[in-house]
Structure 1
Amino acid sequence: MEEKPFLGLRTVIYAAPDLSATKAWYAKALAIEPYFDEPFYVGFNVGGYELGLIPDASIVEGSTVSYWGVADIDKVIQRFLNLGASIHTDIQDVGDGIKTASIKDPFGNVVGLIENPHFSL
């Protein structure tokens, strides 16, 4: 059997031209402090996955949207909106109890959210 090329999501990196402000916003939005904090990269451990911030926006130019699992999409979106994010795509019921949406953080990064009652680690 051929080896599968992907092992699963490990890291999502967002542009952070103002690293200090972006770090502060994500620390508040995620209710955690970064575990790695350097001038060239800030990393948060989010449920065993990496959410990284880099000041060099050219590295993530043309990036795709990654979806972070949430238990209650309405509640999480409201939390992010209260912290200055905006709606990128409205909540969509994509069937079988699964909902998706995306927000833009105050720095222009698109953050995907998915509420999937069938997913478990």
Structure 2
Amino acid sequence: MNFRGFATLTIWADDVAAAAAWYEQVVGVAPYFETPGPDGRPAYREFRIGDLQAELGIIDRRYAFPGVPSTAGGALMHWHVDDLEGTLARLLELGATALQPITPRDDGFATAAVIDPFGNLLAIMHNPHYVEMAGK
């Protein structure tokens, strides 16, 4: 096996267009890719975000795998942010629901988490290792 990094983080939404519009406000870029469903509504939209151009995909919940819960849960991926307090405040202002307040961790790490308006976990952190790796 040769794991080289995550390729695409995907989340579910009942309304892909609304979720993509919300995430566009959060990440500050428009989706670069879209696939329509058979009814013409967006079935998938994808963003490239940040220093590594990480991919975030939003999939219409109609295409969820059998047994996928409709409540927030599962793996938690933290996005590095430089301003943890400001980013958390902005997410809440945009309609996210607080899940975990800013929580200091060891060695300069701190995390926080919300549930987006579409029922997905969204975690953020200030990560000194990321800053070192990114050279900023």
Q: Using structure 2 for the length normalisation, give the TM-score.
A: 0.79
Amino acid at match of 1:40: A
Once the two structures are overlaid, the 10-residue window that deviates more, 55-64 or 5-14, is 55-64
**Structure 1 runs (4+) greater than 4 angstroms displaced:** none
Within-5 A mapping of 1:40-59: 40-47=43-50, 48-56=53-61, 58-59=64-65
Q: For 2:9, which of 9, 12, 15 is the aligned residue?
A: 12
Identity across matched positions, percent = 36
Question: Cα deviation per residue 1:17-54 (whole Å; 9 max; x = unaligned)?
Answer: 11111111111111110001222210000121001100
Structure 2: where are the runs of 5+ without partners? Answer: 36-41
Q: Distance in 2 between matches of 1:12 and 1:72?
A: 22
Question: Cα deviation per residue 1:67-103 (whole Å; 9 max; x = unaligned)?
Answer: 1111111111111111001111111111101001111
State the secondary structure of the residue aligned to 1:40. strand
Q: Using structure 1 for the length normalisation, give the TM-score.
A: 0.88
Aligned residues: 118
- Cα shift at 1:56: 2.4
Q: Distance in 1 between matches of 2:98 and 2:3?
A: 30
Structure 1: where are the runs of 5+ without partners? Answer: none
| Aligned-residue CA RMSD (Å) | 1.6
Higher helix proportion (structure 1 or 2): 2
Match of 2:39 in 1: none
Amino acid at match of 2:82: A
